[in-house]
Amino acid sequence: MKGKTEQDRDIGQLVRTATQSHIDVDTFYSPRDLPDLGYETDLGDPGQYPYTRGLYKDMYRARLWLKSFIVSYATVEETNEAFRQYFASGMNDLRIGGDLTGQVGLDPDHPSAFTALQCGGPSVYSMQVYERMLEGLSLEEGVYELGDANLASPLFRYAVLVAIMEKRGDDIRKLRGNAVNDPIRAKLVFGAPDFTTEINKRVCLDQIEFSLQNTPNWRPFAPNGVDLNQSGMDVVAELGGTLALGEAIMRELRDERGITIDDFGPMVFSFDADSDFFENIAKFRLARKMWARIAKEKLGARTERAMKLKIGIRTSGLSLQAQNPLNNAARVAFQILSCVMGGVNSLDASSIDEALGLPSYEARMFSLHTQHIIAHETNVPLVGDPLGGSYYLEWLTRKLEEETERYLHDIEEHGGIFKCLDSGWLASKMFDNRLKVLKEKREGKRLIIGVNAFPYEDGPINEAIGRSTYHAPPVEVREQTLAEVKRFKESRNQQELKQRMKVLYRAAKAGDNVVRPVIEAVKAGMTLGEMVGVIRLGYGLPYDNLEQIDMPGLVSEMLRECE
């Protein structure tokens, strides 16, 4: 007999005993691990406070989750065509994006804009460009989301949507959707240079106040945990950060604007869905529970509507790998499934080729049809919270709650979420966990299939996935955009635009709500970069957020006439 033959089951043994967020787990769980779990107080039926098991009694039988994509190609024409295709294929939630220059409040003709111009989406710098991008789409009937990096972009894009509707003669009260509008994420993750933290908070409150009065079906504020998670925060910090921000903004809204959480209504959080299946589900359930209690016990909510948290998901683009991209199909499918089992309200699923470039049409359709298969073939959505009562899931939900409560206490001990941002405390938490994860990968204690474990050589399917991605446009296309911007700026009614900019400048300087002045100025042709500059001037800051250009002549005239 030859040497001992290694059994298949001995190959590729588990290397972890903890979740992705470093929570150690036992080999199994039983009622002994949940001695004080109260069904009515901790769980409740779906549709009952504290909404751990879901917001609605019938859950997905009554309403499926919204299915969305970030749809952003290099030109507005390509993006418009994609919008139409995806709506026709069953998508019912449209995420409007833009290129990287717009994400930091720059116009395409800014000296620092060219290398990022039309990367990640079209250059949408004016209302007139948006009109082309949204041609043929009803703003009264669709659901629209704004997932911008900074605070200037959602202010500008929201103003543009309202301006287009008013120009068309639409009822702006029918505008439906939400904006991330997150001042913590803007600085912590993206280091957005457009506005200071003070201006970001002000602009956030302005949008909430204006929207509640004029577009009641629009959710103007959605704390974002997606980019916190993908930048290094673990699940506890992701959840704790969004809860702390939501509470802080609701307090400032009440104290500064006289608007209560009952006036505001249901909160929306945007979360990441990574590859730890049960940790995802526990996070979604716990988010609803903890927000319901914060709303009721700390913010004084009296209505059920104000205690409810709606959850929008972006599945983890960071989890997707360029090596063996076919493996990403499994990652995306299980992430989507965890979202459905966790009772989320809208879902933006990543595409299997995102690690290689902007998603191809076929890759996006795969993500959309994966959701259709889960909805209509697996029968998973037939039952609300189907894993509720699992000893492991209930223990993990409870454990996450304990850790998140500790994290929230630490935030308060350090002066609150905004002081934690400005002091660098939040950044230190993010970087510490990022280094911990990198160390685990290097030491083989966190396996990424096809990358640091079980690699295999790409064949024709993987190679085809790589070839099919959409890539950034060539230099000639960007130069055409710059020429277009020049023509546009020269074609505007300069006197009318100057008068509208005066109103915006004075509102910013006086501390008045800036949303309506922005709407009227974009109708006159004000660009994103000009809006950022004028608001900055109102706060006594330099016009250019990178201090690389002087004020345009039109803005200089406006400023002289105001002073």
Whether residues 430 and 543 fall in one domain: no
Taking the C-alpha atoms of residue 414 and residue 403, their distance in angstroms, rounded to an integer, is 17
Using alpha carbons only, give the angle 290, 296, 301 rounded to the nearest 5 degrees: 130
For tokens 């995420």, the residue is: 95
- Is the same domain home to 117 and 255? yes
Q: Which tens digits make up the pLDDT trace of 80-117?
A: 888 888 777 766 677 787 888 888 889 999 999 888 88
181 and 328 fall within a common domain = yes
Whether residue 412 lies inside any domain: the answer is yes
- Residue 532's domain comprises 494-562
Task: Please identify every stretch of the chain with a pLDDT value under 50, giving residue numbers as ranges.
Answer: 1-7
The answer to whether position 231 is within a domain reads: yes
CATH number, domain containing residue 208: 3.20.20.240
Instruction: Give yes or no for a contact between 408 and 417, defined as CB atoms under 8 angstroms apart.
Output: no
Q: Which amino acid is at 152?
A: A
* Apex 438 CA angle, 433 and 443, nearest 5: 125
Domain boundary among 410, 434, 468: 468
Say if residue 210 is exposed, middle or buried (CB neighbours under 10 Å; 0-12, 13-18, 19+): buried
Do residue 273 and residue 312 come from a single domain? Answer: yes
Give the model's pLDDT for residue 8: 54
> Closest Cα to residue 272, out of 223, 308, 307?
223
195 membership: H or E segment, kind and range: none
Q: Which two tokens stand for residue 24?
A: 């150690």
Looking at the fold, whether 457 and 517 belong to one and the same domain comes out as no
Are 388 and 518 found together in one domain? no
Could you tell me if 417 and 542 lie in one domain?
A: no
**Given strand 144-146, what is the order of strands in its sheet?**
218-219, 177-179, 144-146, 93-96, 66-71, 346-348, 309-315, 267-273
Go through 36-46 and write b for each residue having 16 or more CB atoms within 10 A of its CB, e for each that does not: ebeeeebbbbb
What backbone torsions phi and psi does residue 141 show, to the nearest 5 degrees? -110, -30
Are residue 380 and residue 277 in the same domain, yes or no? yes
Question: How many domains does the chain divide into?
Answer: 2
Question: What are the residues facing 66 on neighbouring strands?
Answer: 346
Q: What is the pLDDT of residues 222-257, one digit of tens each?
A: 999 999 999 999 999 999 999 999 999 999 999 999
How far apart are the C-alpha atoms of 157 and 151, rounded to whole Å? Answer: 10
Whole-number pLDDT of residue 6: 45
Residue 4 domain-assigned (yes or no): no
Choose the final residue of a domain: 468, 485, 502.
Answer: 468
Same domain, 452 and 499: no
> What 8-state DSSP symbol labels residue 493?
-
With CA atoms as reference, report the closest residue to 315 among 354, 282, 358, 287. Answer: 354
Distance CA 85, CA 164 (A): 22
Please indicate, yes or no, if residue 16 is contained in any of the structural domains. Answer: no
Contact yes or no for 348/69 (Cβ under 8 A): yes
Report yes or no on 34 lying in a domain.
no
Confirm whether 382 is domain-assigned.
yes
Angle, CA 410 vertex, CA 234 and CA 415 arms, to 5°: 120
CA torsion, points 146, 347, 210, 151, in degrees to nearest 10? -40
Cis peptide leading into 216, omega within 30 of 0? no
The number of CA neighbours under 13 Å toward the Cβ of 269 is 31
421 is a domain residue = yes
Q: Up-side HSE of residue 501: CA atoms within 13 Å toward CB?
A: 30
pLDDT computed for residue 9 by the predictor: 57
Per the domain annotation, does 193 fall within a domain? yes
- Same domain? For 198 and 328 the reply is yes
Same structural domain, 455 and 508 = no
Q: Which of 468, 502, 523 is the last residue of a domain?
A: 468
Q: Where are the beta strands (DSSP E) in 17-147?
A: 66-71, 93-96, 144-146
Q: Based on the domain organization, do 399 and 513 belong to the same domain?
A: no
212 Cβ contact partners less than 8 Å away, ≥ 6 residues apart: 220, 259, 263, 264
516: amino acid identity, one letter = R
